[in-house]
């Protein structure tokens, strides 16, 4: 056991001596948790709209005003030429063009119906579909309004109205950051703990000290434990600091139990540090480790349900996400923080991540050789 204590003592000395690392430990979470949730916001505002008004009537004016006042749209062009509006789309000045035909108001009154055309710039698919949805909503609303105003009131409504009253569970105000902050925290812990552990070991390879260690009788498990334990501590520190930011900055207080969260954190760190260790056994320089880690972090961030729901991925992709400890942790964080889930709810998450960790660590230990 004694060599392990000396190794731990040495690791902590080196960590605390590396001022840059300590800085990253606190600055990275602060920056990411404050900036990223704002950027990763799917509520779309400022959709640029251009209106081609061939009608020039009070009715068309009213419609335009209604769109402008909705808060979602920014009027970037008001013209009576289709070609001008098309130019705006081409130049990326307009996301949506609404074309109000000539005689819109008259026909509406006379015939009770009139078509308008909507053209959508669909390069950004999300913006396009959301923008179209908003605009359709406004149009329907306006439609109902003029029906009320112009059509003689009938004793019974011509069409039965079904009104939908939504009730959003767990996040009633649909606040985006309640959903994002816990997940970004997971991504942070992954980055800081997994990456640093891999770098730390590869650095010893680079400067040659690992050879000096390999020529001592230290046991493989002692060396590995001595390397990974400090990053369990660092991971827990970053996680706690992140929770604090979430509370102070966003008022997010986990509904669930902190013990549940930290228990899962430990299991998660076991797995992700095993992953870092594994990377370090396959790389010789920090650059190699960095590029490999970058690749995996990218995949983790895109596929683990951080930004897009795993449920909407194709089946094969879903299977892959089940191999990432990160996906489980993001899920657990959202469950515990937003829903207040307890041990019983996440027991399979714990089990699976533990198994993944066992596989990764065994693989890494087998692949780490004191004698080549």
Partner 1 sequence: METVIKANKLTKRFGDFVAVDEITFDVYKGEIFGFLGANGAGKTTAMRMLCGLSTPTSGEATVAGFDVFTQPEEIKKNIGYMSQKFSLYEDLSVLENIEFYGGIYGLSRSEIREKNKELISKLGLEKEANNLVRSLPLGWKQKLSFLVAIVHQPKIVFLDEPTGGVDPYMRREFWDLIYDAADKGITIFVTTHYLDEAEYCNRVTIMVDGKIEALDSPGGLRQKFGVASMDEVFYKLARQAKRSAD
CB of 227 to partner 1, least distance (A): 13
Q: Give residues 1-20 in contact with partner 1 (rule: CB under 8 A).
A: 2-3, 5-7, 9-10, 13-14, 17-18
Q: Which stretch binds partner 1 (CB under 8 A): 26-34, 75-83, 202-210, 357-365?
A: 202-210
Binding residues for partner 1, how many (CB under 8 A)?
A: 25
Does 218 bind partner 1 (CB under 8 A)? Our answer is yes
Site for partner 1 in 17-36 (CB under 8 A): 17-18
Binding partner 1 (rule: CB under 8 A), the pick from 94, 105, 170, 209 is 209
Please, what is the minimum distance in Å from the beta carbon of residue 223 to partner 1?
A: 9
| Residue 366 sits in the site that holds partner 1 (CB under 8 A) | no
Q: Is 367 in the site for partner 1 (CB under 8 A)?
A: no
Between 13 and 322, CB nearer to partner 1: 13
Contact call for residue 217 and partner 1 (CB under 8 A): yes
Instruction: Report if residue 214 touches partner 1, rule: CB under 8 A.
Output: yes
Of positions 35, 109, 150, 215, contacts partner 1 by CB under 8 A: 215
3-state secondary structure the chain: CHHHHHHHHHHHHHHHHCHHHHHHHHHHHHHHHHHHHHHCCCCCCCEEEEEEECCCCHHHHHHHHHHHCCCCEEEEEEECCHHHHHHHHHCCCCCEEEEECCCHHHHHHHHCCCCCEEEECCCCHHHHHHHHHHHHHHHHHHHHHHHHHHCCCCCCCCCCCCCCCCCCCCCCCCCHHHHHHHHHHHHHHHHHHHHHHHHHHHHHHHHCHHHHHHCCCCCHHHHHHHHHHHHHHHHHHHHHHHHHHHHHHHCCCCCCCHHHHHHHHHHHHHHHHHHHHHHHHHCCCHHHHHHHHHHHHHHHHHHCCCCCCHHHCCHHHHHHHCCCHHHHHHHHHHHHHHHCCCHHHHHHHHHHHHHHHHHHHHHHHHHCCCCC
Nearer to partner 1, 222 or 361 (CB): 222
Q: Of residues 130, 213, 359, 365, which one binds partner 1 by CB under 8 A?
A: 213
Minimal distance, residue 210 CB to partner 1, in Å: 9
The residue ranges that bind partner 1 (CB under 8 A) are: 2-3, 5-7, 9-10, 13-14, 17-18, 207-209, 211-218, 370-372
């Amino acid at each position: 056991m004694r060599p392990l204590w000396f190794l731990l003592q040495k690791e902590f000395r080196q960590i605390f001596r590396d001022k840059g690392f300590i800085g990253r430990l606190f600055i990275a979470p602060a920056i990411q948790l404050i900036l990223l949730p704002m950027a990763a916001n799917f509520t779309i505002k400022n959709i640029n709209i251009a209106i081609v008004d061939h009608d020039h009537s009070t009715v068309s004016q009213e419609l335009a005003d209604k769109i402008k006042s909705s808060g979602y749209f920014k009027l970037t062009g008001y013209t009576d030429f289709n070609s001008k509006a098309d130019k705006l789309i081409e130049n990326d000045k307009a996301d949506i063009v609404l074309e109000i035909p000539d005689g819109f108001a008259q026909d509406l009154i006379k015939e009770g119906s009139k078509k308008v055309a909507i053209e959508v710039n669909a390069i950004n698919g999300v913006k396009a579909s959301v923008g179209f949805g908003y605009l359709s909503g406004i149009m329907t609303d306006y439609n109902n309004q003029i029906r009320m105003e112009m059509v003689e009131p009938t004793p019974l409504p011509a069409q039965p109205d079904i009104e939908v009253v939504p009730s959003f569970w767990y996040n009633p105000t649909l606040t985006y950051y309640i959903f994002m902050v816990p997940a970004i925290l997971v991504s942070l812990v992954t980055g800081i703990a997994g990456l640093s552990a891999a770098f730390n070991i590869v650095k010893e390879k680079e400067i040659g000290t690992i050879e000096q260690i390999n020529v001592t009788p230290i046991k493989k498990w002692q060396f590995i434990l001595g390397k990974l334990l400090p990053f369990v501590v660092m991971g827990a520190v970053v996680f706690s600091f992140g929770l604090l930011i979430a509370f102070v900055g966003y008022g997010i207080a986990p509904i669930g139990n902190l013990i549940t969260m930290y228990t899962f954190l430990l299991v998660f760190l076991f797995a992700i540090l095993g992953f870092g260790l594994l990377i370090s056994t396959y790389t010789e320089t920090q650059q190699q480790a960095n590029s490999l880690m970058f690749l995996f972090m990218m995949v983790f961030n895109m596929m683990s349900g951080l930004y897009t729901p795993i449920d909407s991925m194709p089946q094969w992709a879903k299977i892959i996400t089940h191999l990432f400890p990160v996906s489980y942790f993001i899920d657990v964080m959202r469950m515990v923080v937003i829903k207040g889930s307890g041990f019983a709810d996440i027991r399979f998450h714990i089990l699976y991540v533990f198994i993944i960790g066992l596989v990764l660590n065994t693989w890494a230990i087998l692949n780490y050789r004191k004698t080549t």
